[in-house]
């Protein structure tokens, strides 16, 4: 009996190891950044953001990634000069770079139907004139990349309706390519059914509408910023990852600045590695 028991133990151990071993076939390596908050300050805490962005760009170039994604708050105040400065910064990146706006670029979201949002159609138009479309689909490095303007969610603006039409078209059926969706606001912080009216998450109605589209399309990776600290959630086979911030961490003095290397495997799984900057 003992030889049989030993053989079975080895077999079980082998199966367990096979199930927990990470995939080996890499599809793409993505540098994921957020919240550079580019500005023209020459003193005070905001003056340090430029150097941190430059250090981040140097680290990303050294990592030789396939693509760079930046999830909003590209600027501190959404000013024309800041948009121009952001464009000049990203010229130093060696890999293709795609980006979406955050609340500092186009305005805060609307909270639970209250009239407290600062996003406006005009601010979105100003951003798009300076930096291009605020939602889009790109195909790069074997990936299909969807970027959206999450400040618009729940706004009831015509631009939001147009963005939903785009999303419903792109996520109508399971994707043939591994797909990443990235945006500024996280869908949720702790639970899918958490309440809205919060500065940091997406409001419940657009949250569930988008979540159902993600499941319908088989999207496995959602990347976000805004929190100024990392956050990882997994639900229904989807990785929801919020990256380290480039500009400043929260809580202040306790959270490091940095970026995230996301390795995407051919089966759709992903592995994250947080990289801090000094």
State pLDDT tens for residues 116-164: 899 999 999 999 999 999 999 999 999 999 999 999 999 999 999 999 9
Strands (E), 85-201: 97-100, 136-140, 143-147, 178-182
Kindly report, residue by residue over 165-194, the tens digit of the pLDDT.
999 999 999 988 999 999 999 999 999 999
Residue labelled with tokens 């319908």: 216
Q: Where are the domains of the chain?
A: 25-276
Q: What percentage of the chain reaches a pLDDT higher than 70?
A: 90
Q: How far apart are alpha carbons 2 and 197 in whole angstroms?
A: 62
Q: Which residues pair with 273 in a beta bridge?
A: 261
For residue 178, what are the contacts with CB-CB under 8 A and spacing of at least 6?
27, 28, 142, 143, 144, 220, 221, 264, 266, 268
Would you state the structure tokens that stand for residue 124, as one six-digit string? 């979105």
Q: State the chain's maximal CA–CA distance in angstroms.
A: 78
Kindly report, residue by residue over 13-35, the tens digit of the pLDDT.
333 444 444 546 999 999 999 99
- Is residue 146 within 8 A of residue 182, CB to CB? The reply is yes
The CATH architecture one would assign to domain 25-276 is: 4-Layer Sandwich (3.60)
Is residue 3 pLDDT above 50, yes or no? no
Residue labelled with tokens 């601010």: 123
For residue 198, what are the contacts with CB-CB under 8 A and spacing of at least 6?
111, 189
Would you state the structure tokens that stand for residue 55, as one six-digit string? 């250090």
- Is residue 275 within 8 A of residue 58, CB to CB? The reply is no
Per-residue DSSP letter, 63: H
Residue labelled with tokens 């947080």: 274
């Amino acid at each position: 009996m003992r030889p049989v028991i030993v053989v079975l133990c080895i077999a079980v151990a082998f199966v367990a190891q096979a199930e927990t071993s990470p995939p080996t076939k890499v599809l793409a390596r993505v540098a994921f950044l957020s919240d550079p908050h580019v500005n023209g300050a020459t003193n005070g805490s905001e003056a340090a953001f430029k150097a941190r962005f430059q250090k981040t760009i140097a680290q990303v170039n050294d990592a030789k990634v396939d693509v760079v994604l930046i999830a909003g708050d590209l600027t501190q105040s959404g000013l024309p000069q800041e948009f121009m400065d952001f464009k000049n910064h990203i010229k130093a990146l060696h890999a293709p770079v795609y980006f979406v706006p955050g609340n500092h670029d186009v305005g805060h979201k609307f909270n639970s139907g209250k009239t407290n949002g600062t996003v406006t159609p005009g601010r979105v138009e100003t951003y798009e004139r300076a930096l291009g479309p605020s939602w889009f689909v790109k195909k790069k490095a074997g990936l299909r990349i969807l970027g959206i303007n999450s400040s618009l969610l729940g706004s009831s603006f015509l631009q939001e309706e147009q963005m939903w039409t785009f999303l419903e078209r792109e996520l109508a059926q399971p994707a043939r390519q591994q797909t990443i969706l990235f945006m500024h606001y996280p869908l949720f912080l702790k639970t899918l059914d958490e309440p809205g009216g919060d500065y940091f998450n997406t409001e419940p109605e657009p949250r569930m509408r988008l979540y159902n589209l993600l499941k319908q399309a088989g999207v496995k990776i959602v990347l976000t910023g805004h929190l100024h600290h990392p956050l990882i959630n997994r639900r229904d086979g989807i990785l929801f990852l919020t990256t380290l911030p480039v500009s400043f961490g929260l809580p202040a003095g306790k959270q490091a600045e940095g970026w995230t290397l996301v390795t995407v495997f051919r089966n759709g799984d992903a592995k994250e590695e947080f990289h801090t900057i000094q």
